[in-house]
Each structure stands twice: as structure tokens, then as C-alpha cells.
Amino acid sequence: MRADLDAARESVDRLLGHRILRRKSAVVSGESALRGARASAALEGVDVPLADLRAGTVQDPLVQGALRVSVGLGALIGTWEQAPLQAIARLHVLAAAGTVPDDQLGRPVGTPMVTARLTGLATLVTGRSTVPGTLIAAVVHGELATLAPFGSADGIVARAAARLTLVTRGVDPKSVSVPEVGHVELAEDYHRTLAGYGSGDPAGLAAWLRHCAVATRLGAREGLAVCEATLRG
């Protein structure tokens, strides 16, 4: 398992060494965010062409929510490190605006179980640890997606929180990989292993971590494709 996670980290390290990032990392990061938003929406069942998304012709509220989340991630990096529950609430506001009543935005279900697990997640995010950042991102993703604390747009929130974790844990500080594309390329495995994680079974957790490691490698490959396209102009 550790070898899989280390290989995922190494794939992102290779991406971060691409020469175009010395000059145009913001361009690559922007394209990564767009592709990530499209893939995240696809995992929720709304698959739209990237060209249409780039042209601004897609009005589906779920897709629009995914786009708002991708645009807003940069402003939440500091909040994620210091007050992750506040960041999660903001992610839900961005993701679900226009799809649920305003008084439900950013408000998790207040059951003791949800409160306890969110508190535990916040402790994990803010704590100091030698655990690989790829593993922490996978747990953040799995917890939020299976807990579904808001009852709407939880998958989009979970994937965004995982990306924030990869940034703040130093795995992908420039946010140029596209892990969401890795998940959507392995969509059947994504949903199966996520259900396994939610079961609480150790084998299910292991399968989910392996899936996330592979998705991270595929996301780094997508980031390299963006780098090469940017280099060609």
C-alpha cells in the first residue's frame, strides 16, 4: 500500500518538474481546474464536452457548481489549513448554490455521528503527521463522500477537499495535476471502492486507497498532457 502511495507522489513530482511550469504554472493550473470541474460533474452523472465548458455554454446547475468550486479553491487554501470545517461549508455554498434552499447551504446535518466524524476529519487535516499527503487526501475524500454531511453536492465537495489536501500537504502545491480525471477514467472502480470505504471494512479501505493512488497517477498524466499542450501553444 505504501508503495502505491509513494508511486503516486512520484508521478506528481515528475509533473512538477516540467519546464513549462517555470513560466506558465498559472495557465496549467487554470486548465487543470477546468478539467477537474468537468470530471467532478461527470462523476455526479452530468458529463459535458470540455469544449462546451470552455465556451461557457453549459448552464446545468451541477456543472456550474463544480466550476464555482474549482475557481474558489485558491482562496480557501489558508482556511483549509486552519479551519477546515469552515472551508468545507464554503465549498458546499459554492457547489450547491441554486440547487437547494439558501438556508441549507453550508449547513451539515447536525446529528451526533456527522458532528463527530467532521470533528475527527478536522483534527486529521490540521494535525501534524508524517503520513503521506496522498493518504490523507484519500481519507478526506472518502470521509466526505461517504458521510455526505450536506445531502447535496457532497461528491463535488469531497473531491475539492481532497485537491486542497494535496496542495496544502505539498504533494501538488501548484495544483496542476487533475486527480478528478483519474477518478472518472476509473469511474466504476471509483464508485465500488468508495462504497467499500463507507462499509468500514479494512479491505474496503485498502481498496479505496489503492484506487486513489492510481487515480493520482492518472491525474498527473493528465497534468503532463496539459503542460505539453501549453508548451506547444
Q: How many CB atoms lie within 10 A of CB 57?
A: 10
- pTM value is 0.96
Which pLDDT does position 3 carry in this prediction?
Answer: 83
Q: With 80 as the cut, is the pLDDT of residue 98 above it?
A: yes
Which pLDDT does position 172 carry in this prediction?
Answer: 98
Task: Give the mean model confidence (pLDDT) for residues 130-158.
Answer: 96
What residues make up the domain containing 110?
2-232
Which pLDDT does position 137 carry in this prediction?
Answer: 97
- DSSP-derived secondary structure letter, 51: H
Which pLDDT does position 178 carry in this prediction?
Answer: 98
Which pLDDT does position 94 carry in this prediction?
Answer: 98
188-227 residue pLDDT tens: 999 999 999 999 999 999 999 999 999 999 999 999 999 9
**CATH number assigned to the domain comprising residue 111:** 1.10.3290.10
pLDDT-derived band at 233 (thresholds 50, 70, 90) equals confident
Q: Is 159 exposed, middle or buried (0-12, 13-18, 19+ CB in 10 A)?
A: buried
pLDDT-derived band at 5 (thresholds 50, 70, 90) equals confident
Which pLDDT does position 110 carry in this prediction?
Answer: 87
Number of structural domains found in the chain:
1
Closest CA to 191 of 21, 44, 38, 91: 44
Task: Give the mean model confidence (pLDDT) for residues 16-24.
Answer: 95
122-139 residue pLDDT tens: 999 999 888 899 999 999
Strand partners, 100: 97
pLDDT-derived band at 229 (thresholds 50, 70, 90) equals very high
Strand partners, 146: none
Place of cell 509533473: 15
